[in-house]
């Protein structure tokens, strides 16, 4: 039995030139998350989802994530979970709120797992592009979650902004579907 766990980011992402001193605007943050999802499918390195965590005061990038479920053989390899894991490692904390105020920008609303991960990550804000229905329309199973899931986050002090640049994110989902990207669901 193996006694440790690691995951690898796609090669293109490991070598992507990112200015870590740049202060991103809100639009640039979401454009960045969506661009990660788009490049992930163009590089054939995972599903059509991208996420990034930013410092709320400075607008600087803390971590990135793309969907790596298939190449990593890891059902938890969703973009948000990868971004959370890398932020926790980078900041050396299990709770991001202990190190400052951070926000998650994601190309799609969180699935059931990522909703839980968001609650426990310590982020103070979540900004989403594509909706649950957009994701399910192309075939992904997002799992059961409360109908008004954003209220659950807001009740815990996490601000939620939905539908930010939704059309651009939906285009990437449709691109993935139209080019025959693998739709993986546990109940197949």
Q: Which residues are catalytic?
A: 80
Query: 29 in helix, strand or coil?
Result: helix
d(CA 142, CA 109): 9
Q: Which residue from 43, 27, 135 is spatially nearest to 80, judged by alpha carbons? A: 135
Q: Which residue from 59, 113, 120, 57 is spatially nearest to 88, judged by alpha carbons? A: 120
Structure tokens of 163?
A: 């539908």
DSSP, residue by residue, 79-139: HHHHHHHHHHHHHT-S-GGGT--EEEEEEE---HHHHHHHHHHT-SEEEEEE-HHHHHHTT
Using DSSP bridges, classify how beta strands 125-130 and 102-108 pair: parallel, antiparallel or unpaired.
parallel
d(CA 153, CA 158): 5
């Amino acid at each position: 039995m193996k006694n440790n766990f690691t995951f690898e980011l796609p090669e293109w992402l490991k070598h992507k030139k990112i200015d870590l001193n740049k202060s991103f605007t809100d639009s640039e943050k979401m454009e960045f998350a969506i661009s990660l999802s788009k490049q992930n499918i163009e590089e054939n390195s995972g599903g059509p989802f991208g996420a990034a965590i930013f410092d709320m005061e400075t607008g600087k990038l803390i971590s990135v994530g793309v969907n790596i479920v298939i190449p990593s053989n890891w059902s938890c390899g969703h973009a948000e979970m990868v971004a959370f894991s890398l932020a926790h490692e980078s900041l050396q904390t299990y709770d991001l709120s202990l190190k400052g105020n951070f926000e998650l920008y994601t190309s799609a609303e969180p699935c059931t797992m990522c909703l839980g991960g968001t609650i426990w990550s310590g982020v103070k804000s979540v900004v989403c592009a594509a909706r649950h229905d957009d994701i399910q329309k192309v075939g992904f199973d997002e799992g059961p979650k409360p109908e008004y899931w954003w209220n659950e986050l807001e009740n815990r002090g996490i601000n939620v902004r939905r539908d930010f640049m939704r059309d651009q994110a939906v285009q990437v989902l449709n691109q993935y579907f139209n080019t025959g990207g693998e739709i993986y669901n546990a109940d197949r």
